[in-house]
Amino acid sequence: MTDFQRIILVHYHEIGLKGHNRASFEMRLLKNLEALLAPFPVVTIHRIAGRLLVFLREGTDWETAKLVSDAIGGIPGVARVSCGFKCARELDVMAEAALVALAEAGTFATFKVAARRNHTDFATGSMDMNQIIGAALCEAYPNKQVRMKNPDVTVGVEVVQNASYVYARSLPGIGGLPVGSSGKVVCLLSSGIDSPVATWKLARRGAVCVGVHFSGRPQTSDESEYLVDDIARVLERTGCIARVYTVPFGDYQREISLAVPPELRVIMYRRLMFKVAETIAHHERAGALVTGESLGQVASQTLDNIRCTDAAVELPVFRPLIGTDKLEIIAEAERLGSFEISSQDAPDCCTLFMPRAPETHAKLPVVLKAESSLPIERWVDEIVDAAEVRDYACPAYRGKKRA
């Protein structure tokens, strides 16, 4: 049996709709793949017609190839990942490669061949290739059925100028746009379930995400900070977070709790958080803030209270989960891989100095009057100056890294 070089075809959908800008999106995805696949035996990555082609090192085994393809599938911008081989433009060689690829595709009952000739200098047309290679597979798998619509496995065969690519195992990616193609945002990131999912959703839309974690320290332990780092490590695997600012917030919550009516505490906390996040966003040259809020989920997330917190800043505030219920958010957290981390109990600023009956329909003039007695500008400067910064592997991040 011939030894074929293993390849992985990276398909995208949304990038293909970008017209004259498509090349820049393709290059951004290629650069992200190059950086994030550095631990794997990747030789090079090429752009081909409508896809990216990952070449694996000679001698790479099937289990390693699967690990690489699974890693690629979680990277934003990837719609589908196909494992296969590069081989000569000879029908018997392509049939042999198809046999090997199909054998590695897993359990199946039905299949079909989908051949495509990208260069007319190859004499055999697509229909004839389908029949010739399909016949070889039917001979090798007499108990399997050919099905043209919705087969279990599709064996792809593509003939290009100097080679052929044959693949069978094909899995969906997470789609979206490559990180770095849609600017930069600052995400309010807690150790809970919601905000990591909101961050991930913005990364899938191509944004470089910078997190800000408001720790209850020194009024609480720093346990939430370790959980946020664990969450960031999950996001880091696919380049979905660049940096996290951790700010000790507990003392400022205590000052607010002593100075304002109890029912307004939560709104005051949120307004100060937003102002701190906006200042960090200006430092990072980010264009928006992101939160994990879902409409009506807790007292601070009513329409009136959202309006009062948004009024604290000038930057737009994105809420990708605003119309999502808790079960849907949990399902997304499980898909992301952050749910188990977020399910651990850890004291943080969200439960610190909470009133018994928080306001659910705050009025902005009342909020502004209560806030007028607080040294907000000085607090914002102090909090930002005290921020502790940790950087993560995000190939698209363009910013001054801190030690």
Cite the annotated binding site for ATP by residue number. 188-189, 213-214, 270, 292, 301
Q: Beta-carbon neighbour count of residue 341 at 10 Å?
A: 21
d(CA 395, CA 380): 30
Radius of gyration for the alpha carbons in the chain, expressed in angstroms and rounded: 26
Residue positions in the annotated binding site? 188-189, 213-214, 270, 292, 301
- With 0-12 / 13-18 / 19 or more C-beta atoms within 10 angstroms meaning exposed / middle / buried, residue 374 is middle
In residues, how long is the chain? 403
Which ranges in 37-90 belong to alpha helices (H)? 62-73
Question: Which are the contacts of 380, defined by CB distance < 8 A and separation ≥ 6?
Answer: 272, 275, 276, 279
**Dihedral pair phi/psi, residue 117, rounded to 5°:** -105, 110
Residues 168 and 154 sit within 8 Å (Cβ to Cβ): yes
Residues 229 and 245 sit within 8 Å (Cβ to Cβ): no
d(CA 79, CA 59): 27
